[in-house]
Copies of this chain bind each other. A is one copy, B any other.
Amino acid sequence: MRLDIEALRVLDVVIQEGSFAKAAAKLHKAQSAISYQIKKLEQQFDVPIFDRSSYRAELTPQGRALWQEGRQLLQQAIRIENLADHYSKGWEPTFELVIDGALPLEPVMRAMKALAEKEIPTKIQIKVEALGGVQMRFDQDEANMMLVVDYTPSPKLNAIPLPEVPMILVTSKDHCLAQQKEVDLNQLLNYVELTIHDTSELPTSKLDSLQFGGDKVFYLHGFDSKKTCLLMGLGYGWMPLSLIETELACGELVEVDYTSSRHAFTPKLVHSAELPLGKAGELILSEVLSEFEALSR
């Protein structure tokens, strides 16, 4: 394979400019260099590309077909150079973010939307896991970042605390618990608890610290469906305050009168302390940060 990209570029310019001489001028080369390159192509391909019998060299049908294929190759070459340029400027080729499914996904999704509008060269992957599964996936995939409530600290990991997410224990206004005063744990256990499902396949090593431990538990896949279930009066459960402000204001959801019906946790953005974040990482960091700040207000 002796095919030369430069030769294809010369061919392309010659065709666009209409003559060898003009192409030479445009490429800042001598006209003989153009002749040489075209001739080389013709010899390599063993196909006449130009018909020189008339005054101006004219493309042969074969030449035209090869030119069209060549343009695609040039496009691909430009693509590669652009990519390399991005990488050299600090963009990661790919960026994987693992999220704890117990966290509200909305701010992350909003951050991703904001990022998508900036046309980042980095391919971003997001994986949602839960509890132990988060760090497992982070380690296994050598992911770039994880967004967690809890993790095993290590000197190799760098954690950036996000603003607190206030949580509130609520139920539907039509649920029995809504009427009760000074609810105690035993009473809670009589009703259906709504919680987020653990996506990890392994037997969970740590228990969800926010779970009450009753025998009627509904495991859901996100706060969206949890909210729907709460509104249906299915049971009670923790919700991020920000997600149900309107429902609390209009009275559709009410706070359970439990000893500690308020709670807050601090999500953390964790990444490897060794290799620094690239441009995409920094961007994601700041976007997620600002979305969570909006959430805590």
Q: Which residues of A contact B (CB under 8 A)?
A: 1-6, 9, 44-47, 61-62, 64-66, 69-70, 72-73, 76-81, 83-85, 87-88, 92-94
Q: Enumerate chain B residues within 8 angstroms of A78, measured Cβ to Cβ.
A: 1
Looking at the complex, which one of B6, B65, B83 makes contact with A66 (CB distance below 8 Å)? Answer: B83
Q: Are A81 and B6 in contact (CB under 8 A)?
A: no
18 A-B pairs with C-beta separation under 8 A: A1-B78, A3-B77, A3-B81, A45-B87, A45-B88, A46-B84, A46-B85, A46-B88, A47-B84, A61-B94, A62-B92, A62-B93, A64-B93, A65-B94, A66-B80, A66-B83, A66-B84, A72-B76
Which residue in chain B gives the minimum CB-CB distance to A8?
Answer: B80
Q: Enumerate chain B residues within 8 angstroms of A44, measured Cβ to Cβ.
A: 84
Which residue in chain B gives the minimum CB-CB distance to A89?
Answer: B46
Number of copies: 2
A56 to B52, CA, bound (A): 53
Tell me what chain A mostly uses at the interface: helix, strand, loop, or mixed: helix
Looking at the complex, which one of B45, B46, B61, B77 makes contact with A73 (CB distance below 8 Å)? Answer: B77
Looking at the complex, which one of B6, B45, B46, B87 makes contact with A62 (CB distance below 8 Å)? Answer: B87
Q: Enumerate chain B residues within 8 angstroms of A46, measured Cβ to Cβ.
A: 84-85, 88
Looking at the complex, which one of B3, B61, B94 makes contact with A5 (CB distance below 8 Å)? Answer: B3
Max chain B Cβ within 10 angstroms of own Cβ: one of A2, A44, A76, A92: A76
Q: Enumerate chain B residues within 8 angstroms of A9, measured Cβ to Cβ.
A: 1
A84 to B9, CA, bound (A): 17
A72 to B94, CA, bound (A): 19
Q: Enumerate chain B residues within 8 angstroms of A64, measured Cβ to Cβ.
A: 93
Which residue in chain B gives the minimum CB-CB distance to A95?
Answer: B61
Q: Enumerate chain B residues within 8 angstroms of A4, measured Cβ to Cβ.
A: 4-5
Q: Enumerate chain B residues within 8 angstroms of A62, measured Cβ to Cβ.
A: 84, 87, 92-93
Identify the 7 closest CB pairs spanning chains A and B, nearest first. Answer: A65-B93, A45-B84, A46-B88, A62-B87, A47-B87, A73-B76, A69-B80
Which residue in chain B gives the minimum CB-CB distance to A64?
Answer: B93
Which residue in chain B gives the minimum CB-CB distance to A88?
Answer: B46
Q: Enumerate chain B residues within 8 angstroms of A93, measured Cβ to Cβ.
A: 61-62, 64-65
Which residue in chain B gives the minimum CB-CB distance to A77?
Answer: B3
Q: Enumerate chain B residues within 8 angstroms of A5, measured Cβ to Cβ.
A: 1, 3-5
